[in-house]
Amino acid sequence: MICRSLREIQNMVKGYGLKEENENIVIQGVSIDTRQIKPGQLYIPIIGERFNGHKFIEAAIAKGAIAAIWNKKEALPAVSIPIILVDDTLTAIQDLAKSYREQLEAKVIGITGSNGKTSTKDILASLLRTKYKTQKTFGNLNNHLGVPLTILGLEEDTEMAVIEMGTSNLGEIELLTNIASPNVAIITSIGEAHLDELITIENIVQAKLEIIKGLKPNGLFVYYGDNPLLNEKIKEMDISYKTITFGSKSSNTCIPWLKSFDERGITFSLDKFHCPSFYLPMIGKHQMYNATAAIIVARYFGVSFEQIQDGLLNIEFTGMRNEVINTGKYTILNDSYKSNPASLLAALDTLYSMKNYSQKIAVLGDMIGLGADEIKIHKKFGDKIDPNQVDYLLTIGPLASYIAKTAKPKFGNNRVFIYENKAQLIQKLKKLMKYESVVLVKGSRMLKLEEIVEALKSKDIMEDKEVV
């Protein structure tokens, strides 16, 4: 984590007001959250739509904050710790992260995409960790605050930093990539997501391509080459970076070939590399492409094939994404962190591929952020879902109800159920589920469908069932 004197911090954030007697105080890390702050840290209060971190300065001090950055428009607090004044604390934390990044020798890999960026981050960090001291974005800290916090959390001797970059609007990834200054940029895939803000797929492509605006001059650009819009846009650009594409089409630099897959993992080979097959303990054929992007970058940094396979077997996964939970009675496919058309299609394909289960149940929630066509898109999934591959379909939320209503004619009324209440849905699941069932739970983050997953993990959910 960042450890700098307050004099250095003041220069890095372009601030003022620090008293001379406090200039040599050294902070040990940064926090914006008084609930998580640790002794010796610098507190940076952020102003949001519904909160103002400046109001919690006393709590920050009580937890051990030894200094704070302060918006000059806020009334100065009567506190004993040193204060550095700035025009805006959000800009200050971004400037601090950018300056700290410039002082580090670490190589940075920036990852963006509509789907697959978190899985690619987890895989790549594991591969790089076999040879280098590596850190990665924690959880989903991939926005205008998350990326600066990730960078400020890097140890001085970090050799590789894998940083996820998310967006919901134009200009956001440009900001993040200029802060992170990546040596490698990856675009995993592009699909229908955040259309409520970005409106068109063309804008999504433009937003994702912003990642190369901060790419170092001699950097590597890796992207999913099966997307025609992305390829078309890149052809229009004057790109001088070394580029490698991956995907299923013959025009790609690197093409993975699926050899086998089951609910434990997938085995695949890569035509570009003369090497043995790789085994990835993740479910879903789409994960093969995420692993391919990670392997390309790992090889770029000199990671051996033996180290790559070792890394693939020891991935630290971010939760609620294609997470397989075996309760001993039945299996939960927990993909409750987010949902958009591409990721839902991949999740259903994964469910279809899972064999030797007594029944398959899909619990689907709303896909948020699809713009004006949101109802139409949900109805399309009602048409797409295969009644021969899913025994029961349960939906929750007003948008997901369109999936159910469209699917009902081919499923029949006794196999499709619509809910607005999680507790009622859970009660229905208890009645429907058999031993050795598999249940997919998938929906957008704001629905908090992990609550359904937690209920399914309860030991007594099937206590009234007889083993058959």
- What is the percent of the chain with per-residue pLDDT over 90, rounded to a whole number? 71
Nearest Cα neighbor of 411 from 439, 372, 376, 383 is: 383
Indicate whether 318 belongs to any domain. no
Of 92, 122, 141, which residue sits at a domain end?
92
Indicate whether 97 belongs to any domain. no
pLDDT in tens, 103-119: 999 999 999 998 888 89
Residues 197 and 173 in one domain: yes
Is residue 156 over pLDDT 70? Answer: yes
Is residue 198 over pLDDT 70? Answer: no
Residues 88 and 124 in one domain: no
CATH classification of the domain holding 21: 3.40.1390.10
CA dihedral 346, 347, 352, 357 (to 10 degrees): 160
Indicate whether 451 belongs to any domain. yes
Of 92, 122, 149, which residue sits at a domain end?
92
What is the pLDDT confidence band of residue 466, given thresholds at 50, 70 and 90? very low
Indicate whether 467 belongs to any domain. no
Spatial distance between the Cα atoms of 162 and 176, rounded to a whole number of angstroms: 13
- State the total domains in the chain: 3
Indicate whether 464 belongs to any domain. no
Residues 287 and 329 in one domain: no
pLDDT in tens, 35-62: 999 999 999 999 988 889 999 999 999 9
Q: Which domain holds residue 42?
A: 3-92
Per-residue pLDDT at 468: 34
Residues 59 and 129 in one domain: no
Residues 109 and 65 in one domain: no
Handedness of CA 119, 120, 125, 126 (dihedral sign): positive
Is residue 3 over pLDDT 90? Answer: yes
What strands, in cross-sheet order, belong to the sheet with 278-280? 256-262, 265-270, 278-280
Of 92, 118, 134, which residue sits at a domain end?
92
Per-residue pLDDT at 389: 94
Per-residue pLDDT at 330: 92
pLDDT in tens, 279-336: 999 888 889 999 999 999 999 999 999 999 999 999 988 765 678 888 888 999 998 8
What is the pLDDT confidence band of residue 163, given thresholds at 50, 70 and 90? very high
Indicate whether 466 belongs to any domain. no
Residues 293 and 179 in one domain: yes
Residues 201 and 303 in one domain: yes
Per-residue pLDDT at 33: 93
Residues 308 and 159 in one domain: yes
